[in-house]
């Protein structure tokens, strides 16, 4: 069972790589280098700030886009192209297929992020000419970004299990946007009454809450991150991803592959 999941995961990774997804790293590298070189001419005092903000924001955004674009096709493409038939005629459980795809996509993003992290540190070195202890905070920010990816991958996979790629993309991007002001939604819910309170509360807890994951601005100012937050975010990401994946598994388990 574990090995089948591993095989599916590694094949998903292979597919992404052969789909030339890693070429996005070139665009990323160009963006970051350009920024690192230009920023010194605009505002000397905040070079480092700009490089960290821009670098980490780019890591996050590029990753979200990749997660959604690949994720939405993970299941639906296989159904449409009927590559799934010969896979499921083998002793592969449907849920193993979903889990394998998830790990494959997540793994692709982790690898991608790893290379991007090297780029960010390189750009940082270029503008600061040295590393300080506080720069390790960047690793924490990157970890949180990866946790965000896990949530988004799981959601994209969920949508892919029942919806066409176009709709899935719309849903996934919408949830990403809503998730960034989920905090407001919760505040609104606490102030509302009656039915709208129930609906808003439900929605607020159902959408992914990304606000706690974005520590880019504070680590750019070298503010420490509480260990409590690291634990909290890890748990939330794991639980949320499990929730979305369970949904995907349930839907896929009962789906007729016409």
Partner 1 sequence: MPAIEILGLEKTYSVGFWRKRPKRALYPLQLTVEDGEVFGFLGPNGAGKTTTLKLLMGLVFPTGGSARILGHDWTDPAVKAQIGFLPEQPYFYDYLTAHELLEYYGQLSGVPAKDRKKRVDQVLQQVGLCDVQGVQLRKFSKGMLQRVGIGQAILHDPKLVFFDEPMSGLDPIGRREVRDLMAQLKHEGKTVFFSTHILSDAEALCDRVAIVHKGELRGVGAIEELTSTVQGKVEVLWQGSQVPAAIKALGAECHVSGDRVRAIINENQQDAAIDILRRERLRLIAITPVRTSLEAYFVEKLRRAETTAGSTV
Partner 2 sequence: MKHRRKITVLAGACLVLSLAASSLVLHRVDQLQPQGPSDEVLLLSSPKVIERASLGYTGLMACIYWTRAVQYFGIRHHNFASSYNSLAPLLEITTYLDPHLMVAYEFGSSFLAPAPPHGAGQPESAIKLMEFGIQKNPDNWRLYYDLGFVYYMDVGDYKKAAEIFERGSHVPNAHPLLKIMAAQLAQHAGEYQTARMLWTATLQTTQDNQIKQNAIDHLRALRVDEDVQHLQEAVTRFGKRTGRLPASMSELATAEHMPGIPVDPDRHPYKLTPQGRVEISSPDDFPFVTRGLPPGYKPKAALPALPNP
Least distance in angstroms from the C-beta of 157 to partner 1: 18
Binds 90, which of partner 1, partner 2, none (CB < 5 to 8 A, cut-off by type)? partner 1
Burial of 243 (0-12, 13-18, 19+ CB in 10 A): middle
Written as six digits, the tokens of 243 are: 């929730």
Q: Cβ neighbours of residue 129 under 8 Å, at least 6 residues apart?
A: none
CB of 225 to partner 2, least distance (A): 14
> Which candidate, 171, 162, 154, places its Cα nearest to that of 255?
162
Q: Are 74 and 12 in contact (CB under 8 A)?
A: yes
151's contact among partner 2, partner 1, none, with CB below 5 to 8 A by partner kind, is none
Is the Cβ of residue 40 or residue 107 nearer to partner 2 in the bound state?
A: 40
47: CB partners within 8 A, 6+ apart:
39, 40, 127, 128
- For residue 46, the SS3 value is coil
Smallest gap, in angstroms, from Cβ of residue 38 to partner 2?
A: 10
Q: Which is nearer to partner 2, 50 or 248 (CB)?
A: 50
At closest approach, how far in Å is the CB of 91 from partner 1?
4
- Minimum CB separation of residue 243 from partner 2 in Å reads 21
Positions that interact with partner 2 (CB under 8 A): 42-46, 49-50, 52-54, 57, 60-61, 176-177, 180-181, 184, 210-211, 213-214, 216-218, 220-221, 223
Residue 213 vs 240, nearer CB to partner 2: 213
Number of residues that this document lists for the chain:
258
> Closer to partner 2 at the Cβ: 96 or 148?
148
Distance (Å, whole) CA 64 – CA 151: 10
Q: What is the binding site for partner 1 (CB under 8 A)?
A: 3-4, 7-8, 11, 14-15, 18-19, 81-93, 254, 256-258
Q: Is 216 exposed, middle or buried (0-12, 13-18, 19+ CB in 10 A)?
A: buried
Between 5 and 220, CB nearer to partner 1:
5
Give 11 or 128: the residue with its C-beta nearer to partner 2: 128
Taking the complex as a whole, how short is the minimal distance between the CB of residue 220 and partner 1, in angstroms?
39
Residue number with CB closer to partner 1 (21 or 116): 21
**Counting runs of H as helices and runs of E as strands, what totals does the chain give?**
12, 0
Tokens 């290379």 belong to 115
Kindly state the smallest distance separating residue 54's Cβ from partner 2, in Å: 6
Residue 86 interface partner, choices partner 2, partner 1, none, CB cut-off 5-8 Å depending on type: partner 1
Q: How many beta carbons lie within 10 A of that of residue 42, not counting itself? A: 9
């Amino acid at each position: 069972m574990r090995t089948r999941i591993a095989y599916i995961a590694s094949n998903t990774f292979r597919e992404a790589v052969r789909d030339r997804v890693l070429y996005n790293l070139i665009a990323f590298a160009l963006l970051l280098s350009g920024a690192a070189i230009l920023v010194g001419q605009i505002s000397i005092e905040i070079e480092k700030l700009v490089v960290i903000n821009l670098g980490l924001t780019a890591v996050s955004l590029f990753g979200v886009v990749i997660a959604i674009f690949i994720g939405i096709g993970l299941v639906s493409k296989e159904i449409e192209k009927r590559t799934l038939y010969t896979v499921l005629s083998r002793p592969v459980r449907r849920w193993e297929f979903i889990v394998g795809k998830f790990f494959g996509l997540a793994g692709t993003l982790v690898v991608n992020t790893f290379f991007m992290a090297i780029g960010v540190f390189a750009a940082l070195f270029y503008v600061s000419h040295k590393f300080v202890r506080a720069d390790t905070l960047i690793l924490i920010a990157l970890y949180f970004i990866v946790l965000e990816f896990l949530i988004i991958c799981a959601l994209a996979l969920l949508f892919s299990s029942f919806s066409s790629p176009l709709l899935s993309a719309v849903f996934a991007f919408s949830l990403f946007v809503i998730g960034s002001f989920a905090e407001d939604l919760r505040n609104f819910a606490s102030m509302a009454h009656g039915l709208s309170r129930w609906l808003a509360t439900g929605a607020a807890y159902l959408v992914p809450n990304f606000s706690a994951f974005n520590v880019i601005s504070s680590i750019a100012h070298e503010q420490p991150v509480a260990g409590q937050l690291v634990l909290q975010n890890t748990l939330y990401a794991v639980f949320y991803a499990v929730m979305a994946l369970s949904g995907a598994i349930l839907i896929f388990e009962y789906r007729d592959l016409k």
